[in-house]
């Protein structure tokens, strides 16, 4: 018996190991997320570089005025001043920044707004394009364009071109995240699909940490863009071997590619069969649902009726508020990280470091609602204390640390709310509701770029009040939502009403993602993989 038990344990451990094909997917996607962070926060670095570089021009003007006071002879004064201006012209020729960038520094303030606009546009059509042409193909094209967009401003530093490239970078960044999340989830067994949404943002935080010292070491316009773009271009050939989504190949009946993946190794063959069995089961359920409820002319009006139901409207309102408030707080702190009185490069490094603990969120054994409320309350409280300390001359490092604690908590709230949204809405309108929640998140990101900064460069009082009060208000709104951990996904509004009954799931079922068994219908359900595009867009 002991020997049999040992064999079972060995077999279980072997089943937990990833196949070579899965490993190739995960480490390449991790590398992609690491480099994506470089251009995601490029506007923070360009603002710092231009502010430091163009200060040389202001110093020259001050020195020229000083010469006017010192030189009593006008000819001597003009001679000395011409020498200073000649040296300044030599500096401008060598650096290539003042003539080309310092003349349009006001344009840089629109870079963040256009980047967020690009993220919004990418979230609208990125998922549909990847579903039609394949995740791998869209991912490769987006990565190539993303890298080129980081390289072009180093060669052609023109204001209009830079802003267009920032918008295009935002679109590519969103498409990259959508395809990468989908590939990671669809190459992961159903019982482990909670980990990719935690692992990939962890790699993104590492990229945020790595980009800060890289930008600090290359503190000129040209060198900054080269240092952030060239590593991505060098690594582009590594992404060519990323496999396509097995679910997409199954839908498109590309059995030749699936057979090639199977022949890679016995472990790949075994793991791929398991993934295809899960995908095929989901497809059969979707087909049976379509047969039972065929699409008619009144299908759209039926969806509208479901959307108008008070329960659905209340949940949609709460989750939209949570998404908008989370976006305001998270990106408000990220994009103003240099406004806490700490050096922008060190602040950006600690900003990435503060997100690393989110990798441990799947290990927390709490329900969706308690976890969301706790994360939102801690986020608002940390931002509020940070605001008080900043108004009473607190040390900049302490003020920034509390703000980063609030950012970490709100990031955990975003992670939880992503799964929470799937479980709250009925199947008949789930996609529409998730799209509206995602739209609220993107609008919250866009609003951040419209908040005017203080003349002294610090975060305005009104902005910090919004960053602290929004999560706390949403924490109270979460009391209107039911607990959904460990219970079946709702198929109809009636199922949503049943969720309103008090339900306290067992501890071992709180984060179970492989199967959700309905006691009423004896039906096994899984988290819908077809929603990955919307889910991944919300996680960016």
Q: Cα–Cα distances in Å, from 123 out to 205, 316, 439?
A: 21, 19, 8
Quote the CA–CA distance of 186 and 361 in Å, as a whole number: 21
- Mean pLDDT of all residues in 312-324: 91
Higher per-residue pLDDT: 262 or 135 = 135
**By three-state DSSP, how is residue 516 classified?**
strand
Q: DSSP secondary-structure letter at 54?
A: T
The secondary element (H helix, E strand) that includes residue 32 is helix 20-40
pLDDT for the residue numbered 54: 78
Closest C-alpha to 27, from 192, 180, 140, 214: 180
Closest C-alpha to 530, from 295, 250, 186, 189: 186
The secondary element (H helix, E strand) that includes residue 468 is helix 461-477
134 φψ region: left (φ > 0), alpha (ψ -120 to 50), beta (else): left
pTM attached to this predicted model = 0.76
Residue 518 Cα to chain centre, angstroms: 33
Chain-wide mean pLDDT for the chain? 75
pLDDT in tens, 89-113: 433 434 444 446 777 877 888 888 8
Quote the CA–CA distance of 257 and 378 in Å, as a whole number: 48
Percentage of the chain modeled with pLDDT above 90: 21
pLDDT for the residue numbered 145: 94
- Mean pLDDT of all residues in 215-231: 91
Give residues with Cβ within 8 angstroms of 194, minimum separation 6.
362, 419, 511, 513
pLDDT for the residue numbered 367: 81
Quote the CA–CA distance of 210 and 382 in Å, as a whole number: 26
Domains of the chain, start order: 19-58+97-284 (1.20.1250.20), 309-500 (1.20.1250.20)
pLDDT at 405 over 80: yes
pLDDT for the residue numbered 35: 93
Pure H helices in 54-195: 55-70, 74-95, 111-133, 135-155, 159-186
Instruction: Record the tokens describing residue 502, joined without a space.
Output: 């008090």
Q: Cα–Cα distances in Å, from 195 out to 105, 139, 358, 439, 513?
A: 42, 21, 11, 24, 10
Give residues with Cβ within 8 angstroms of 357, minimum separation 6.
408
pLDDT in tens, 247-260: 777 777 777 777 77
Closest C-alpha to 115, from 48, 45, 43: 43
Quote the CA–CA distance of 208 and 40 in Å, as a whole number: 9
Give residues with Cβ within 8 angstroms of 457, minimum separation 6.
338, 339
Quote the CA–CA distance of 124 and 118 in Å, as a whole number: 10
Quote the CA–CA distance of 28 and 19 in Å, as a whole number: 14
Q: Cα–Cα distances in Å, from 436 out to 144, 440, 448?
A: 30, 6, 19
Are 104 and 159 in contact, with CB atoms under 8 Å apart? yes
CB crowding 456-481: b at 16 or more within 10 Å, else e: eeebeeebbebbbbbbbebbebbeeb
pLDDT in tens, 406-456: 999 999 888 888 888 888 888 777 778 888 888 889 888 888 877 766 666
pLDDT for the residue numbered 34: 93
Quote the CA–CA distance of 444 and 469 in Å, as a whole number: 15
Residue 90: phi and psi, rounded to 5, are -60, -40
Are 520 and 499 in contact, with CB atoms under 8 Å apart? no
Are 462 and 343 in contact, with CB atoms under 8 Å apart? no
Report how many helices (DSSP H) and strands (DSSP E) the chain contains, helices first. Answer: 22, 2
pLDDT in tens, 358-367: 777 777 777 8
- Mean pLDDT of all residues in 105-131: 86
Quote the CA–CA distance of 47 and 112 in Å, as a whole number: 11
pLDDT in tens, 337-354: 877 778 889 889 998 998
Are 419 and 86 in contact, with CB atoms under 8 Å apart? no
Quote the CA–CA distance of 362 and 198 in Å, as a whole number: 7
- Mean pLDDT of all residues in 314-330: 91
pLDDT for the residue numbered 524: 35
524-525 and 516-517 beta bridge pairing? antiparallel
pLDDT in tens, 26-60: 889 999 999 999 999 898 888 888 888 776 544 44
Give residues with Cβ within 8 angstroms of 206, minimum separation 6.
34, 37, 352, 356
């Amino acid at each position: 018996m002991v020997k049999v038990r040992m064999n079972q344990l060995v077999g279980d451990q072997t089943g937990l190991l990833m196949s070579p094909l899965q490993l190739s997917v995960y480490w390449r996607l991790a590398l992609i997320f690491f480099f994506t962070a470089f251009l995601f926060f490029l506007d923070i670095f360009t603002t710092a570089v231009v502010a430091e570089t163009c200060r040389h021009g202001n110093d020259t003007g001050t020195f020229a005025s000083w010469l006017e006071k010192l030189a009593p002879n006008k000819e001597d004064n003009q001679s000395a001043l011409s020498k200073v201006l000649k040296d300044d012209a030599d500096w401008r020729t060598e650096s290539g920044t003042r003539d080309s960038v310092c003349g349009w520094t006001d344009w840089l303030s629109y870079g963040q707004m256009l980047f967020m606009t690009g993220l919004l546009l990418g979230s609208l059509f990125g998922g549909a394009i990847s579903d039609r042409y394949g995740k791998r193909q869209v991912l490769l094209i987006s990565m190539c364009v993303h890298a080129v967009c980081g390289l072009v401003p180093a060669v052609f530093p023109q204001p209009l071109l830079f802003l267009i490239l920032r918008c295009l970078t935002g679109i590519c960044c969103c498409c990259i995240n959508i395809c990468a999340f989908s590939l990671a989830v669809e190459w992961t067994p159903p019982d482990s699909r909670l980990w990719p949404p935690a692992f990939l943002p962890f790699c993104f935080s590492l990229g945020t940490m790595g980009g800060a010292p890289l930008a600090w070491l290359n503190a000129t316009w040209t060198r900054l863009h080269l240092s952030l773009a060239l590593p991505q271009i060098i690594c582009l050939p590594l992404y060519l071997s990323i496999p396509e989504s097995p679910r997409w190949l199954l839908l498109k009946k590309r059995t030749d590619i699936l057979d090639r993946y199977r022949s890679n190794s016995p472990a790949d063959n075994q793991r791929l069969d398991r993934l295809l069995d899960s995908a095929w089961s989901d497809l059969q359920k979707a087909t049976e649902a379509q047969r039972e409820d065929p699409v008619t002319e009144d299908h759209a009006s039926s969806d509208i009726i479901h959307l108008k139901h008070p329960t659905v409207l209340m949940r949609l309102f709460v989750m939209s508020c949570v998404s908008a408030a989370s976006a305001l707080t998270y990106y408000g702190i990220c994009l103003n990280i240099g406004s806490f009185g700490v050096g922008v490069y060190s602040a950006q490094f600690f900003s990435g470091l503060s997100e690393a603990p989110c990798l441990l969120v799947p290990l927390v054994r709490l329900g969706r609602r308690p976890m969301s409320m706790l994360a939102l309350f801690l986020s608002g409280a940390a931002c509020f204390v940070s605001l008080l300390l900043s108004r009473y001359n607190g040390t900049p490092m302490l003020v920034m640390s509390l703000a980063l604690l609030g950012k970490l908590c709100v990031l955990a709230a975003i992670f939880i709310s992503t799964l929470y949204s799937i479980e709250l809405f009925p199947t008949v309108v789930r996609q529409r509701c998730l799209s509206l929640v995602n739209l609220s998140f993107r609008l919250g990101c866009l609003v951040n770029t419209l908040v005017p900064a203080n003349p002294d460069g610090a975060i305005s009082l009104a902005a910090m009040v919004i960053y602290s009060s929004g999560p706390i208000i949403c924490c109270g709104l979460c009391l209107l939502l039911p607990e959904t951990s460990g219970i079946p996904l709702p198929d109809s509004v009636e199922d949503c009403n049943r969720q309103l009954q008090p339900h306290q799931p067992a501890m071992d079922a709180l984060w179970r993602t492989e199967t959700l068994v309905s006691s009423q219908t004896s039906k096994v359900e899984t988290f819908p993989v077809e929603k990955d595009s919307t889910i991944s867009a919300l996680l960016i």
